[in-house]
Structure 1
Amino acid sequence: MVVALADENKAAVEEQWRSWEGLNPEILALIFARIMPVEEMVNRVPFVCKGWMEAVAGPYCWSEVDLQAWCRRRNDSHAVDLVVKKLVRRSKFTVQRLSAYRMGEPGFFFVAHCGNFLKALEMPMSDVTDQMVLKHIKPLPNLTLLDVSHCLKITSKGLATFATQCKSLIQLKRNMPPLDAHSPTDDSEPKTVADTMPNLQHIELCFGRFGDSGLSEILTKCKSLIHLDIQGSWNVELNGDLAEMCERLQHFQSPWVDDDSQLSDTSEGSDVSFTDSN
């Protein structure tokens, strides 16, 4: 009796395994994308069985690529570029959302060619320059979110170039490293944002060097703005009617208002190398 039950359980497990293995690759990919981090799908899933390998080798797993946790473990932009290129190729340039730290020119080149598919691009701390943006960026008509925080080699010129190719932007994150409280005022970036991205609804400009003049440009020209975060932007004084204009926003954080929420995700990622040859 015990042996018979054991055989039945074994058969049930084998049947369940075969049902998983035989699932359509697209369905498998949707399941993997929901429950597994990127490094697991690259380094472990392909070695389970042929069906799983085919699922992660195709484009269906890679509509959303979040490499931030993995990138936090590395200071090597070359390694980041290799992974970004590999996964964008796997997606057949159909990535809809890509998040990666410390991206360089090779990785940015691939991302910039995702065309109509790309809706969100988060590339903080990247080595991309104004010249690289001008050289490689292609029309990204459906891009709604752009995060170029801590990208020290991008200036107002690069932001303007993004604006010309990304007409659907409604969210911009341009948070910078903390500066000395007495840094000279520079209003060039907020003025560029106001002139070229008037449809923005959500703007983060923490630790910017701008003052009241730059802030006024944004508040005046970005008519759809509902969320503005300028914490650490010490040159802003909110003189005149600026304070009243800011209070009308649904969400406003100034250099003098504390906020318990974190400006960046601090979750840890596992230190796993991307080693497959595709």
Structure 2
Amino acid sequence: MEKYHCPRVARPLVLDGFISDPGWADVPWTNDFQDITGDPSLKPRFRTRAKMAWDDDYFYIAAEMEEPHVWGTITEQNEIMFNDNDFEVFIDPDGDSNNYYEFEMNALGTIWELSLPVPYSEGGKPVLGCNLPGLIRKVGVRGTLNDPSDTDDGWSVEIAFPWKELAQYNPGRSTPPTIGDMWKVNFSRVQWQHEVVDGAYVRIPPHGTDLCDGLNPEDQQHPEDNWVWSPQGVVNMHIPAHWGEVVFER
């Protein structure tokens, strides 16, 4: 299980998608993401890493992803985002594995927000469209989006989650957190295999079905990679006990 010491920033961070605000400079990176299973033989093809910070108003998260072909197709908010390459955030503030929040975003900046009263494995049904008012998100593309004719460097994301909206997932505890509080958090990067058809990127879909047939990606057999910060041991992000520990510091 990964652990991260999350520093408090002296002033609000200005987000542009490129992690360029000087306030990020002293914020440490996480370890590079691993395969979701934790199997060292399944080393990710492209590097992914993240940063976290906080102030009175927001929990800030940034991620940097190497990617030679940056593409995205989903433009409608709250569509099933993992049908594209995406970056995902999972937050369980009180660490009880219940009533946790999930955020997903693709390279177009389109987002999907949902929550789980309990994990899928315990019969959980997702609550869809749990959009947090005041959430800020930005995407930066180092290359050309949806252009197969060239090679890109990658893409990055920055998100500011308002504490006052995350409080609903942290009943009975301080939100914003107090110094020394620990939250369970994890990140996932879904990376699809693709082909180019008529000059456009097309993902190679799951074998014999499509992810749109169900909301739980772990129920499908599909040709994509899942790279995470804190490995789950199996191909299933919805085991909050295996998520990383984020400790909020000065």
Identify the TM-score tier after normalising by the shorter chain.
under 0.3
TM-score by length of 2: 0.23
* Bigger Cα Rg: 1
TM-score by length of 1: 0.21
Higher share in helix: 1
Task: State the structure with bigger RCO (CA 8 A, min sep 6), 1 or 2.
Answer: 2
